[in-house]
Structure 1
Amino acid sequence: MVQSVQRAVQILRLLSAGGPRLGLAELADRVGIAKPTVHALLRTLEAEGLVAQDRQTGKYVLGPGVLTLGNAFLETHELRMRSLTWADLLAARANEAVWVAVLTGDHVLVVHHAFRPEGAVQILEVGASIPWHTCALGKAIVAFLPEQRQAELLAGPLPPLTGCSIADPDALNDQLEQVRSSGYAQEDQESTLGDAGIAAPVFDRSGLAGAIGVVGPVERLLADGQNQDLAVKVREVARQLSRELGAGRAPLARALA
């Protein structure tokens, strides 16, 4: 790896963490390199529009260039582009909001959000990053990863987001087995109190692509019988989306039969 590029990425990640703005000394301390080196990296990133400096405090924040890159990622991401129509269809069938997500590291990244058709004011969640083990989307993806990658994720940090989050590797592994058996994953207030999710994996011509699922209040999604009806709808749309992405019959038969 190119060390200077790696350090620049570390700076961008620190600034994207959502905490207080960071100054030169704080960034140097967290990256673990000398202040002159960090200053040179910041000047380069600032010239490219990827960071900006508050002239009053001297602190740094992400720049507008990051948004341009993020939009370009979404506009060229095949799963997101192919999922637009299917997500709207699922939202209409389920009368719930629909998220499409991919796995990045140990988090899932929401790349598309279709609003609930008859909902009140809703907040667009595209770009939200959620620990994989706290949401149905993450469990739907991880359940169909290679065993070694699953083991790595189960052995990694499993921070709870709510009192309902499951942080025990053995319990999570049992859930992943259930997902492989049923073809869908379920979340019960594990990332946000009061909310639930039901999701299924999506495949493309190369293998696992991501997941699609419904999200909403736990009393609607997990009511007696309602979760099974929603699971059928989610799996069917996941199957149709996978076919459009060129998935072969083998993974579909194994995961979404």
Structure 2
Amino acid sequence: MPGRIQSIERAAAILRVLAGGTRGLSLAEISRSLELPKGTTLGILRTLQHVGFVEQDDETGHYQLGGGVLRLGSRYLDGNELRTRALNWADALAGRSRESVRIGTLHEQQVLVVHHVFRPDDSRQILEVGSLLPLHATALGKALLAFDPHALPEYVRDQSELPGFTKRTLTEVADLEADLSRARIGGWAAEIEELVEGEVSIAAPIRDRRGTAVGSIGIRGAIERLCDGRKPHMEQVSYVRDAARAISRELGAGPW
């Protein structure tokens, strides 16, 4: 059986030390606390800083936990508590909108569908729980990109063009950024025939007690049902936003 990897154990120890502090810690304090040479400690800190798990204050030089660790903590919630807290609200949204409802979270630069409620009619439908969807071509994904400040830079890094699925998919990063800016202003996101021709989806972010977007909830259906021309019906938008706010309150988010 393979043995433990010392460098990973030391990195984990550094993260625990930083998590236990109420303020940033200096290199000397971290090194002394763990009884590690300063050179070794500095090398690990720089690696953790590179991947976003540690941040360094420009003025004091002290180290603290970075946004990457906070997002990992949020993702722990996603597949378990998020789905549990959202069940009733997702059912209610399906009833009000008369459309299918999906809840998604960010997973390896895609949207992972963690809950799916069928459209309340007699049509044949396929359960989508566990499906992975593109972030830039779905309303669920856009809601995550728009309201997670770290998600978009990571998603578009090293990409000059985004994959296209229909002639309406936003493949230019600048166009996507403009669309996400509108989503942030309005508090909701939409995609109109960007993933599948003839289909539309509307979504809004789900936040936790820190105000972090830990997921999104949305409806999906035919363009003739959900749109007036090429604009989503605002009544449907209000249903989605009401559901997102309700689930967010269940997770401890304040009023917003």
Residue of structure 2 in register with 1:110 after alignment: 113
Q: Distance in 1 between matches of 2:216 and 2:79?
A: 17
The residue aligned with 2:154 is: 152
CA distance in 2, matches of 1:173, 1:74: 27
Task: Specify which of 211, 215, 233 is matched with residue 227 of structure 1.
Answer: 233
Structure 2 residue 204 is the aligned partner of structure 1 residue 200 = yes
The size of the alignment, in residue pairs, is 180
In structure 2, the gaps of 5 or more residues are 6-75
Distance 2:218 2:245 in 1: 12
CA distance in structure 2 between the partners assigned to 1:75 and 1:110 by the alignment: 10
Q: TM-score, normalised by structure 2?
A: 0.65
TM-score by length of 1: 0.65
* 1:75 to partner: Cα distance: 11
| Structure-2 change in CA distance of 1:154 and 1:212 (3 Å) | same
Detail structure 1 runs of 4+ shifted over 4 Å in the superposition: 73-76
Asked if residue 177 in structure 1 is aligned to residue 174 in structure 2, the reply is no
Alpha-carbon distance in structure 1 between the residues aligned to 2:145 and 2:78: 25
Structure of larger gyration radius:
2
Partner of 2:254: 248
Write out per-residue CA displacement over residues 59-84 of structure 1, whole angstroms, 9 at most, x where no aligned residue. xxxxxxxxxxxxxx999611111111
Post-superposition offset of 1:150: 1.9
Q: State the alpha-carbon separation in 2 of the partners of residues 189 and 156 from structure 1.
A: 26
Change (3 A) 1:123 1:181: same
Contact 1:98–1:114 (8 Å) recurs in 2:
yes
Distance 1:119 1:162, change over 3 A: farther
SS at match of 2:190: strand
Whichever structure has more helix as a proportion of its residues is: 1
Report the Cα offset of residue 247 of structure 1.
Answer: 1.1
Q: CA deviation at 1:105?
A: 2.2
Structure 1 unaligned residues grouped into runs of 5+: 6-72
CA contact (8 A) 1:97 1:116 kept: yes
